[in-house]
Amino acid sequence: MRLLSAIFLLIAAIAAPAHAERIKDLGNFQGIRSNQLTGYGIVVGLTGTGDDNLEYTVQSMKGVAARFGLSLPPGVNPGLKNAAAVLVTAELPAFSKPGQRIDVTVAAIGKAKSLRGGSLIMMPLYGADGQVYAMAQGSLAVGGLGAEGDSGSKVIINVPSSGRIPDGATVERAVDTGFADSQYLTFNLAKADFTTAERVQNVINSRLGRIARTVDGVSIVIDAPAGAAMRSALVSQIQDLPVESAEPAARVIVNARTGTIVINSAVRVGPAAVSHGKLTVRIDEQPRVSQPGPFSRGETKVVPDSQVSVEETKSPMFVLAPGPQLSEIVKAVNQVGASPADLVAILEALKEAGALKAELVVL
């Protein structure tokens, strides 16, 4: 029994590759995605922080009043400090069905200072094809706060001119993804890599039969049975299959604004000798006051007194052996006490010298 247990553990260790990822974490199936919705609406119930007399806000309120059978006399424009024109956006998840609810984001487009306490009047949300896919309405949850005094002093915390309505829209139309009717399923990697695509194909074929084939560095085409139920079961099996993704390309990411430097484990450095030092010039100004003697009819003057000093920081040269690992690179750079700005200069020089075997990306 102990021998059999040991054999089963060995087989399990071989079957599950080290550092394996699930296929669902590497990409997604084509067509199974969210869709963007947007619309224009009016928020009412504000405490004097609205758009006031903006023309498009007035026109919008007249349209809202007309829907309820109300009409304003010609030439009369209402003061709308308690209303604001807004843009409403939402994400419609894949397979959303009529009657389900989704969150919406509301943002002011005019002079409104705050949407706190406001309510969105019912308005449609449109897709890219111009069709209505949801209807939005509800009270806003605003995380920002703004206050202003008569003297002009004001305090603003976060962004009070935008907010969210949890479950603020009701889905009215479903999006056809073609999931049940397409000839085959296509799995797309989030990042193009021919090695990872080939490994995904091999894992699917070894577990579920020869149903997958690689098209390019992103797409793997999978033969699928007809019917949504059978395809759903197949996708469920494929998503949880473990696969060992390929090692990423060697990259050094440098953010020049923040001084952040990220080096991945694939970076290698060829033989190189590096010396890096600093030259600091310091000028101290200590002006002195020259006071004339009594009855000399002289004038008091300020006499400049400058002290100039030059300081050079001597850093020992260090040698990078062929193909050092990431930990060795960091250790060698730390020996000379290089700052992030100095490290950028060292990496750029190594790249120019042909010793840095990686792509240097400066943000």
The per-residue pLDDT for range 62-114, each reduced to its tens digit, is 777 777 776 766 666 666 788 888 999 999 998 899 999 999 999 988 888 88
More confident residue, 165 or 12: 165
Q: Which domains does the chain have, with CATH numbers?
A: 35-171 (no CATH), 178-243 (3.30.70), 251-291+302-362 (no CATH)
Which pLDDT does position 18 carry in this prediction?
46
- Amino acid, single-letter form, for residue 124: P
**320 pLDDT higher than 70:** no
**311 pLDDT higher than 70:** no
* pLDDT range class, residue 324, cuts 50, 70, 90: low
SS3 of 252-300: the string is: EEEECCCCEEEECCCCEECCEEECCCEEEEEEEECCEEECCCCCCCCCC
**340 pLDDT higher than 80:** no
How many angstroms separate the CA atoms of 91 and 360, rounded?
A: 35
Q: Which residues 6+ apart lie within 8 Å of 72 measured at CB?
A: 62, 65, 78
Which pLDDT does position 344 carry in this prediction?
74
List pLDDT tens digits, range 15-44.
444 457 899 999 999 888 899 999 998 888
Which pLDDT does position 264 carry in this prediction?
80
**308 pLDDT higher than 70:** no
Q: Residues 251, 358: contact at Cβ < 8 Å? A: yes
List pLDDT tens digits, range 170-193.
999 998 888 888 888 999 998 888
Which pLDDT does position 7 carry in this prediction?
37
Which pLDDT does position 319 carry in this prediction?
59
pTM greater than the 0.85 cutoff: no
- Amino acid, single-letter form, for residue 140: L
